[in-house]
Amino acid sequence: MDNRMTRTLALLTGLLLGPLVGLNADDNVSATRVSPNSKPTINSPEASTSTTGEATPLNFVIIMVDDMGYEGVSCFGNPYFRTPEIDRLAEEGMRLTDFHSSGTVCSPTRAGLLTGRYQQRAGIEAVIHPRADHPEHRKGLQKSETTFAEVLKKAGYATGIVGKWHQGYPQNSQDYHPQNHGFDEFIGYHSGNIDFVSHVGDHYRHDWWHGRQETSEDGYTTHLVNRYADAFIRRQAMADAPFCLYVAHEAIHNPVQVPGDPVRRTVEKWDRWKWQEHSAEERIAKFKGMTMPLDEGVGQIRKTLVELGIDRNTFVLFFSDNGPAADWPDSDDYRGRKGSIYEGGHKVPAIVWWPGRIEAGTQSNEPLISIDVMPTLLDLAEVTCEVKLDGVSFRDVVLRGKSLPKRALYWASLSNGGGRSEAIRQDEWKLVVLHPKAAPGTFENARTELYNLAEDPGETTSIAERHPARVASMLKQLRSWYADTQVTATEQPGGWLSKQ
């Protein structure tokens, strides 16, 4: 039986999942020049060969979960419960044990992931805030940016996003809509989080969409994300074109709700679940209750790819957008949480899976960052992009066990209150810069800390006073990097220091 017949039979078994509806893509997407020969070729070493002898371009599934710390899953050390499906992904693939998000909170990491550049260049340094009078509220991903979805779409890929967008509120500008950024299809929400039952967003508006149509739909958010991700894969498996699916889970971000819990947020109020009022056992129960549907969804994607006979032609990446929120117990040894430029704020679990190409049960300790995802996808697809990217491809890391050239990694965080903090990492050395009591949005009162991560991975003791020359050199490089991101940074409305 050839692959097409296998896919046909598998699709028929999944028809009850239903198609994605109301998803007419907007033709007016930002221009990206792709080289004439950039379409994936049948001679690509990364293309798989079908039973007919023809090579087919590689598919991509990018799974990003929300607010999951380094030990959020059991294959990375979760001491509270098992995550069998994510563990199986790791058992059949490779764990990336030194993977980092480029941001310490939602919106910045997403902007960096989508563009392959540090998010500071896109003008998205902080959470795009739900409150209309907040300095960061009116910002969003501008159409001048180039995303991996745009480049892959122009190379012949079918593209889709299911779940969280958080790159600008649609009432502020339709330019921020994901279908203006290379995605053919979108089902999900625009805000930072929605009630898992009522789907009311953090801006106190209903926020569940099929394409450009706001849609009322019953269902626990994670279950809906799982269902529509599976449906997208089943449909695209029957098409001639390769696909790229971005699955952006809401879990395990608040509101804290497990399946069966009541509505916590309406358009009038939010009855927030306060972790301070609950025992450790209750917190772990909620943590598990929100994680397991996500785990099941990851397993469903893997099973569907195998069932359809396209698992050996699909590259799957799983990771988190930042460190853990305070709602959950923090079991790892890393300092800091979500919002922090210490390791606990951006060192996250990550897994790559590609049966037959990535050696099963392996791990890589190579320092990687989420802005590396776009260049990796384009490298694997043999697609070129004329936009200069900050990230680098880690294809040879996961396929051939090679190391990347030496480089520095950077973080610059801007809190909801306007507080700034930065960090630079060079090999085992990490410089942290804090700005205590600085005016919002400014870099006043710089205070430096230095850590040797090989000797002190928990960043417990600063040794800045012992290495003044290294501190001065790294601080100069950090400031030079940030200044460079601002030279051509995309103009955004609002901001802490803006008069707009």
Closest by alpha carbon to 298, among 258, 374, 349, 262?
A: 349
What is the 3-state secondary structure of 33-60?
CCCCCCCCCCCCCCCEECCCCCEECCEE
In this structure, are 400 and 424 located in the same domain? Answer: no
CATH number of 98's domain: 3.40.720.10
Question: Same structural domain for residues 393 and 419?
Answer: no
Residue 498 confidence (pLDDT): 73
The pLDDT value given to residue 56: 80
Domains: count for the chain: 2
* Whether 309 and 402 share a structural domain: yes
What are the strands of the beta sheet with 347-348, ordered from one edge? 347-348, 99-100, 368-369
The Cβ of residue 369 has, within 10 Å, a number of other Cβ atoms equal to 25
Residues 436 and 323 in one domain: no
**Domain that residue 438 falls in:** 410-487
Residues in the chain: 500
**What is the per-residue pLDDT for 24?**
39
SS3 301: helix
Cβ-proximal residues to 195 (8 Å cutoff; 6+ apart), any chain: 201, 255, 257, 263, 264, 265, 266
Query: pLDDT for 196-250, tens place per residue?
Result: 999 999 999 999 999 999 999 999 999 999 999 999 999 999 998 999 999 999 9
Is 1 part of any domain?
no
Is residue 266 assigned to a domain? yes
Residue 22 placed within a domain: yes
Distance CA 456, CA 431 (A): 13
10 Å CB burial of residue 99 (0-12, 13-18, 19+) is: buried
Instruction: Answer yes or no: do 208 and 110 share one domain.
Output: yes
Same domain for 206 and 189? yes
8 A C-beta contact, residue 327 and residue 339: no
Shared domain check, 414 and 403? no
Please name every residue paired with 60 in a beta bridge, in sequence order, or none if there are none: 244, 315
Indicate the DSSP class of residue 431: E
Domain end among 357, 392, 407: 407
Q: What is the CA radius of gyration of the chain?
A: 22
Query: Do residues 378 and 364 make contact, with C-beta atoms less than 8 angstroms apart?
Result: no
H helices of 382-415, in order, are 395-400
256 and 189 in one domain? yes
Are 396 and 433 in the same domain?
Answer: no
Q: Do residues 437 and 346 share a domain?
A: no
CATH number at residue 446: 3.30.1120.10
Of 381, 407, 433, the domain-final residue: 407
Same-domain check for residues 102 and 116:
yes
Dist CA 216 CA 225 (whole Å): 15
N- to C-terminal Cα separation, the chain: 63
E runs forming strands in 275-401: 314-320, 347-348, 350-353, 362-364, 368-369
Let me know whether 222 and 97 are in one domain: yes
| In a domain? residue 495 | no
Ranges of the chain with pLDDT below 50: 1-44, 50-53, 500
Which pLDDT does position 20 carry in this prediction? 41
